[in-house]
Amino acid sequence: MSRDQRADDPVALQEALGSFVRAFGLHQPEATPCGRPIPVSEAHALSELAQEGELRQVELARRLRLQKSTVSRLVRQLSTRDWVERAPAPDDGRGVVLRLTAAGRRAAQNLAEARRKRFSRLLGSIPAHERSGVLHALDVMVEALDE
């Protein structure tokens, strides 16, 4: 099958995406692609909270594209690790605001450093003339998934 024919074949997209998931390690949910022994969902939550300082739990669910009940379990796991603290939202007694603890900030910093190293190596392995195309393809995939 030619490259142009493959471009219109959903099976080719499925196989290529599956190969990427496995090569990047996304099929191993108990470890991050950068090799840290933490579930990927927890790593993403830590990253969002480190970036913002604090977030409402419903906003974290929106950003992670997870159900509220899934994020509730996730927050319980992070709290058990002493990485996140919960507080009532100041403007809404039913809302919950999440903040990283000191231990959570250290964990987030360690993850960020591991992620920076992994992505630096990955970017260095992509030929310079292909990099903008790779980033564009990822943007197009996210847009298509959002439809």
pLDDT in tens, 46-71: 999 999 999 999 999 999 999 999 99
pLDDT, mean of residues 110-117: 94
Residue 55: CB atoms within 10 A of its CB come to 19
Kindly indicate the confidence band of residue 103, based on its pLDDT and cuts at 50, 70 and 90. very high
Domain 40-146 has CATH 1.10.10.10: yes
Kindly indicate the confidence band of residue 6, based on its pLDDT and cuts at 50, 70 and 90. confident
Sign of CA dihedral 34, 35, 41, 44: negative
H/E/C letters for each residue in the chain? CCHHHHHCCHHHHHHHHHHHHHHHCCCCCCCCCCCCCCCHHHHHHHHHHHHHCEEEHHHHHHHHCCCHHHHHHHHHHHHHCCCEEEEEECCEEEEEEEEECHHHHHHHHHHHHHHHHHHHHHHHHCCHHHHHHHHHHHHHHHHHHHC
Q: What is the pLDDT of residue 2?
A: 64
Burial class (CB in 10 A: 0-12, 13-18, 19+), 128: exposed
Q: Crossing angle of helices 40-52/102-125, nearest 10°?
A: 110
The first and second tokens of residue 70, run together, are: 């899934």
pTM assigned to the model: 0.84
